[in-house]
Chains A and B, each alone.
Chain A
Amino acid sequence: MLPTKPTLYGLMAEFTEPDELLRAAKKAHAAGYRRIDAYTPIPVDGLSEAIGFRHTKLPLITLIGGLIGGIGGYAMQYIAMSVHYPLVIAGRSFDSWAAFIPITFEMTILFASLATVLGMLALNGLPMPYHPVFNVPSFALASRDRFFLCIEAVDPVFELEPTRTFLLNFSPLAVHEVKP
C-alpha cells in the first residue's frame, strides 16, 4: 500500500459533522474514486457501505475456530480417558461422554473468541502504529470530534488539483495533503 508517488499519500478532507462526511463519501464513490477511506471518532452508520465496503468474513473465522476448539476438546478427553490410559474411575465407563461436555463447551468458546479477535485484527491489518494519515496535524481530532475523508493518491482517478477541488465542493473545514 506504499504510494506510487512517494511524495504524496493522498488528500484528506476534514468535517465536523458525520452527515457531511457521509454525503462526501457517497459522492466520492459515485465519482468513481475507489481508494478512499473515512476516519471517524465513532462508528458512522452506512459509512463503510458508502465507500464501497460490503461484507466481512469474520463470522466464518469464528465458526472455524469454534469447531476446532470443540472437536479438539472432546478428542483430547476421549483419548486421554479411554485410549491412552484407561483407568476405572468410580465405576464409570471409560468414555463418559456426559462428563466431557463442560470442557468441550469451554474449549469451543475459547477458540472461537480467540479466532474472532485475532481475525478482526488481521483483517484490519492491525497493529499498525505508523500510518501516513497520522502525519496530518489535525488528525489527532479524528478520535475526538472531527470526521475525515481520505482519497489516496494511488487511486487511478486521483489527480491532485481536481481531487482537491472535488473535495472542496463539500465545504470541509480544510483539505490536507497527506505525506507518505
Chain B
Amino acid sequence: MDHEPTNQELIDSHREASHTEVSRGAPVLKAGHTFGSVTDQISAIVLSRPTSRGWWLGLAASFVLLMVLNMSIAYLLLRGVGIWGISMPVAWGFAIVNFVWWIGIGHAGTLISAILLLLRQDWRTSINRFAEAMTLLAVACAGLFPLLHMGRPWFFYWLMPYPNTMALWPQFRSPLVWDVFAVSTYASVSLLFWYIGLIPDLGTLRDRATSRAAQVLYGALALGWRGSAMHWHRYRVASLLLAGLCTPLVVSVHTVVSFDFAVAIVPGWHTTIFPPYFVAGAILSGFAMVMTLAIPLRWLYGLQDFITPRHLNNMAKVILCTAMIVGYGYIMEIFLAWYGNNPYDQAVVANRFTGAYREAYWALLFCNIITPQILWFSRVRQSPKLLFLIALIVNVGMWLERFIIVVTSLSQDYIPGNWGMYYPTFWDWATFIGTVGLFFTLFFLFVRFLPMIAIYEMRELVHETSEHHAND
C-alpha cells in the first residue's frame, strides 16, 4: 500500500460510489439530515439521552450470565478440564467449538470496515462501528477458550516466545502456535482500527459533553483531535493502509484456525477445502451476528434513519452468498470422500449422515443451507423480523457446524477399538452461556458510552448526498 491516493481519486471514488448507490434507489441515509442533525442525534444517545430501562434489563441479564462464566472458570481451575465432557478419543469439546464460533463471528466487523471500505461501499458507514466493536468483543470471548481448555492454563505463556531459563521455545510447527499469533494479531489490529475510527467522534463527544468528567474522559481519548486539514489527510491515508492490511489479515485468521483441523490427519479434518470454507463460514456467522444486533438496536434507539432497509438488504445478500459458499464446502467434503476413495473419510461422511450425531448434522444443513435460501425473495429481505429470525437460525447453525466438525470426526477415527462418544456436562454449557454473557455485558456498555455509529462518516454521507442533489 505504498501507492499514495491523491485526494482527487478519493473525491471521485466517493462521487461514483454515491452515484451508483443512490441510482439503485433505496438511500443509505434518510433524506433531510444535516451535519448538525446527525451529530446531535447520535451523540445524544451517549451524552444526553436518559438510559432506557431496556438497557438496564439487558445489562443485568448479561451480567448474571457473566457471573455464571466466573463460577465455571473458578470451578475449572479448581478441578481441571475433567469437569467437562471431553474424554478419549474426543479430547476437544465445547471449548474449541466455542472458540471457532466466536472467532468466526469476529470476522464481520473488520470485514465490513476494511474490505467494504476498499470496495468503496458507502453503505457500510452506519454499521461498521458497532460491527467492529462486536468483532473485538467476540475475539475477546474466543480468546478465553484456548486458555481455559488447557490442562495447565497457568503455563499459557509457554506458547509465547520469550527468553527463559529452560532455553526452550514454542514449537512453531504447531497450528496452535499459529493460532496464538493469528488471534493476538487480529485482536490488536482490530483494536487499533476501531480506535482510530473513533478518534474524530471522541472529539465530537468531547465538544458536545457538558459534564467536566465526560469532557476529560472523551478529551483524553480524543488525543486532542481538532479536525485539522492535514490531520484529515493523513488520517484517511492511514485508514486506507489499515484497511489494506486488515483485508488479508481477516482472511488469514480463520484460515489459520482452519489449519488447527486441516493440518491434523484426523479423517474429517484433513481436507484442503477447509480454509476457504471456514472463511466463508466466518463471514456468514459474522454477518448473521451483525444482523442479530443491528435489528434490535435500530428499533431500540430509533436509528431507522441511519440503518436503513438498504443496509439490511445488502447484509441479507451477503448472508445468502456466503451460505451458498459454505454449502459448496459441505458438498465438496462429501464429494472428495467419495472421489478420493478414502475409506476413513467415507466413514466420517456416513457417520455424519447416519451416526450418533446425525440430528445435529441435519440441523446444521437446515440452518446454514436451507434457511438462507428464502433470502432470494426481496420481500423477505425487506422484513426486519424475518431477517432477525434467519440471523438467529444461522448463528445456531454455524455453532452446530463447528460441533460436528470437532466432535464427530474425533469420536470415530481410524481404529474401531478406540471409538467413543462425547457428552457435554453442565459445566460445558455454563462456560458457553457464560461467554455469551461476557459478550453482551461489554456490548451494552459499548452502546451506552461510545457512539455506535460513526458520526463523522455520517456527516460525510450528508455532505455527499447533498453534493449529489446539488449536481442534479
Contact = CB atoms under 8 A, between A and B. Distances in A.
Interface of A: 18, 25, 37-51, 53, 55-56, 58-60, 62-63, 76-77, 80-81, 84-85, 87, 89-90, 92, 96, 99-100, 102-103, 105-107, 109-110, 112-114, 116-117, 119-121, 123-124, 126-131, 133-134, 139-145
A143 B203 contact: yes
Contacts of B259: 102
Interface residues of B, number: 70
Contacts of A77: 172
A44 B167 CA distance: 56
A129 B224 contact: yes
What 4 A-B pairs have minimum CB-CB distances, sorted nearest first?
A127-B223, A145-B35, A80-B169, A128-B224
A48 B189 CA distance: 28
Contacts of A85: 167-169
Given A42-B35, A90-B173, A127-B223, 17 more contacts: A39-B226, A40-B232, A41-B204, A41-B227, A42-B459, A47-B232, A76-B161, A77-B172, A103-B177, A106-B178, A112-B241, A113-B242, A116-B245, A117-B192, A120-B238, A126-B225, A143-B39
B34 interface: yes
A110 B184 CA distance: 9
Contacts of A140: 207-208
A113 B192 contact: yes
Contacts of B173: 81, 89-90, 92, 96, 99
Given A41-B35, A110-B188, A116-B242, A143 B227 contact: yes
B453 interface: no
Nearest to B216: A129
B201 to A, nearest CB: 8
A128 B220 CA distance: 9
A105 B182 CA distance: 9
SS of A interface (majority): helix
B223 A128 contact: yes
A80 B238 CA distance: 34
B472 interface: no
Contacts of B456: 41-42
B182 A117 contact: no
B215 to A, nearest CB: 10
B229 A53 contact: yes
A106 B188 contact: no
Nearest to B200: A143
A89 B3 CA distance: 43
A51 B7 CA distance: 13
B230 A53 contact: yes
B76 interface: no
Contacts of A134: 226
A116 B181 contact: no
A131 B458 CA distance: 26
B281 interface: no
Identify the interface centre among A41, A60, A81: most chain B CB within 10 Å of its CB: A41
A99 B175 CA distance: 9
B237 interface: yes
A55 B231 contact: no
A49 B225 contact: no
Identify the interface centre among B36, B172, B225, B256: most chain A CB within 10 Å of its CB: B172
Contact of B237 (A38, A56, A126): A56
A50 B256 CA distance: 46
Contact of B2 (A59, A99, A110): A59
A102 B229 contact: no
A103 B206 CA distance: 40
B463 A110 contact: no
B185 interface: yes
Contacts of A50: 229
Nearest to B15: A45
B329 to A, nearest CB: 21
Identify the interface centre among A40, A87, A107: most chain B CB within 10 Å of its CB: A40
Contacts of B177: 103
Contact of A45 (B11, B35, B203): B11
18 contacts: A37-B228, A38-B229, A39-B228, A41-B35, A56-B4, A59-B241, A80-B161, A84-B167, A92-B173, A99-B173, A103-B177, A106-B182, A110-B185, A110-B189, A114-B188, A121-B223, A124-B235, A143-B204
B1 interface: yes
Nearest to A78: B172
B10 A45 contact: yes
A37 B229 CA distance: 7
A126 B182 contact: no
